Structure 1
């Protein structure tokens, strides 16, 4: 079932814009605004470059060959990982996933190659895939330990992903397991998702199983999108960098915060951080009554980013055992809708990570959110590790937390 088709949610008193973008609506809005002959800046804002010349400014056509970004683990690598797993499990005391680190999960040879992957994420193209693990060989608990151990060499600090303290999210369609859940949130559904970023420095996705059909991963360079907009519509850069964007927190009574979608990262230049759901509302999270709508100019900018992401995107079909790693501040991601079968059910474990040595410096507009995820926040004090898929019904159907 495609959730996007269940409910049509025009914004009362605001632009006709949906979570699932319509190209026809976008073009009509571009034409309508052009006819108004609005006064538009013809240069990008102060502090933003005319163009980003960096390895993470790429076109998807440059990466047709997966060998460019896939690190294939050898048999020796797998043996080293399994030795590290045994080392961790033989330690005295309670087996706490939160204690997995470079020290407690030693990878003396592979670790250096994984550190090089982290440099590629932060200073290079911004994404990589580790390939060669076979999740079916291990228990659910061991898969979590392996995942944490391997990724600790890429980015050791883990972010809390919601107000319940969950450190791991299992991305899996639960429609057959949870009754009356047609309007479930996207991590627990099979619908396509538009381009967005999460709330982290490094996004990690460990594929436990592929879908029977679909579920492809799409990536797009934020810098490539920025360059196109800066060249052709510098006024839109002003709109995206303005801190007046309204983010619905999906609470009662209505509550929202405001911030920019585009930031200037010290030493690294422009980077995006947002998802559409708290801005437009979605079929599963309707916009809260009383939350002010965005403007037509903002709606044009929001859809422009999405359709440029589609234009310059890279598509990959991840394999079982892959660990996809993304610099979340440099790269947008989306997914195709998918279908499971009786013998094949898509299941991905998601982590939000940060490498304190290599991380892009957090701008002021994101510091509060980053403190919640990575700092000594109340939600991190109740950190919990979900070893198996599943979540409370409230988390599946209603979520005030967001990838925003």
Structure 2
């Protein structure tokens, strides 16, 4: 195939997003009150988050603002920081319920792992970097390279920060794609071909430990991206996985170098109560290394949502929410408390 430029209106540079005011949405006191009223409605409906949907979490005013944010996520900048949940007076359960309800206004939950987590955790799970089953959300202290998750949108809610570090980084993958098409169309074409990804031990019973998926896909004039370079490289531990071509390795190196250059990236510092939402197809995310102080209770802990947006009328089959997969056989709300 001959790759072409896609969604140029969604390209941005670091200079375009240098002012945090352009991507920070501060919740007002009336909106917090509206959230608390919605939480009361939801709790009257059920104490099980899995039974709480958009209709059970009414946001007559904030809902319209979230709709505008959703539009910007899918057809604009591709990321947002929503600030202002009162972490100082809300419990973990309060925080998670408000986050779940806001997420319900942005999309349908998507299972994140073989445990069936619809609300998951990004914190130090005590797994080692060389553990072939470890996934990024389970690895503590280290930084994470730019990547995207397996859904339309990914949301992160900050419950606690660590002692230091752990800055969130986002990078515009539309800009990276289009720059690669302009400068190295041969490498772009290689990333449109299916690449092997490591399942990290979470494949269905009896299935291979890897799967095939392109990094770039064009569908309906839109760009869809699935880039997790460590998983692509880790696929080579399986004897039956296709061998990565030299050109694929060169293309992955190009993507990493360009993302790490900072020319299309922004760094933000999470505060407890912050919510970040990202369009996985247009924006990569990562983090800087961090330090926890367990004795002082300063343990970095984020809650995660993967969401299927209603904005996309259709998407490639490989980007669908597979609620019939083995990952969805159990539907679980994780209530991990990293401090316990």
What TM-score does the superposition give when structure 1 sets the normalisation length? 0.75
Q: Which residue does the alignment assign to 1:294?
A: 244
Distance 1:222 1:319 in 2: 25
The answer to whether the aligner puts 1:200 opposite 2:151 as a matched pair is yes
Secondary structure of the 1:325 match is: strand
* Residues 144, 289 of structure 1: alpha-carbon distance in 2 compared, 3 angstrom cutoff: same
Deviation at 1:118, TM superposition (A): 0.5
Cα deviation code 1:113-135 (max 9, x no counterpart): 01110011011111111100123
Cα deviation code 1:346-372 (max 9, x no counterpart): 11000000122x0273214x15xx342
* Residues 239, 146 of structure 1: alpha-carbon distance in 2 compared, 3 angstrom cutoff: same
Distance 1:355 1:182 in 2: 34
Distance 1:181 1:248 in 2: 15
Q: Which residue does the alignment assign to 1:122?
A: 74
The answer to whether the aligner puts 1:73 opposite 2:32 as a matched pair is no
Distance 1:209 1:349 in 2: 10
Secondary structure of the 1:294 match is: coil
Task: Determine which of 223, 228, 244 is the counterpart of 1:275.
Answer: 228
Deviation at 1:309, TM superposition (A): 1.4
5 Å-filtered alignment, 1:26-41, equals none
* Residues 50, 115 of structure 1: alpha-carbon distance in 2 compared, 3 angstrom cutoff: closer
Distance 2:288 2:200 in 1: 25
5 Å-filtered alignment, 1:86-105, equals 86-91=40-45, 94-105=46-57
Structure with higher strand content: 2
Gaps of 5+ in 1: 1-44, 391-404
Secondary structure of the 1:164 match is: coil
Task: Determine which of 161, 164, 167 is the counterpart of 2:112.
Answer: 161
Deviation at 1:256, TM superposition (A): 2.5
Q: Which residue does the alignment assign to 1:385?
A: 333
Q: Which residue does the alignment assign to 1:353?
A: 307
* Residues 100, 136 of structure 1: alpha-carbon distance in 2 compared, 3 angstrom cutoff: farther
Q: Which residue does the alignment assign to 1:326?
A: 278
* Residues 130, 194 of structure 1: alpha-carbon distance in 2 compared, 3 angstrom cutoff: same
Deviation at 1:320, TM superposition (A): 1.3
Distance 1:325 1:371 in 2: 18
Q: Which residue does the alignment assign to 1:338?
A: 290
Distance 1:186 1:257 in 2: 18
* Residues 50, 108 of structure 1: alpha-carbon distance in 2 compared, 3 angstrom cutoff: closer
Q: Which residue does the alignment assign to 2:98?
A: 146
5 Å-filtered alignment, 1:156-195, equals 157-175=108-126, 183=131, 185-188=135-138, 189-195=140-146
Distance 1:339 1:136 in 2: 22
The answer to whether the aligner puts 1:306 opposite 2:256 as a matched pair is yes
* Residues 320, 250 of structure 1: alpha-carbon distance in 2 compared, 3 angstrom cutoff: closer
What TM-score does the superposition give when structure 2 sets the normalisation length? 0.89
| Residue pair 2:117, 2:334 contacting (<8 A) in 1 also | yes
RMSD: 2.3
| Residue pair 2:158, 2:302 contacting (<8 A) in 1 also | yes
Task: Determine which of 247, 251, 267 is the counterpart of 1:315.
Answer: 267
Q: Which residue does the alignment assign to 2:324?
A: 376
Gaps of 5+ in 2: none
| Residue pair 1:100, 1:145 contacting (<8 A) in 2 also | no
Distance 2:211 2:236 in 1: 17
| Residue pair 2:190, 2:251 contacting (<8 A) in 1 also | yes
5 Å-filtered alignment, 1:225-304, equals 225-243=176-194, 245-251=195-201, 255-268=209-222, 270-281=223-234, 287-304=237-254
Distance 1:181 1:238 in 2: 31
Q: Which residue does the alignment assign to 2:64?
A: 112
Deviation at 1:173, TM superposition (A): 1.4
Deviation at 1:185, TM superposition (A): 4.0
Q: Greater Rg, structure 1 or structure 2?
A: 1
Q: Which residue does the alignment assign to 1:49?
A: 4
Deviation at 1:147, TM superposition (A): 0.7
Distance 1:343 1:255 in 2: 37
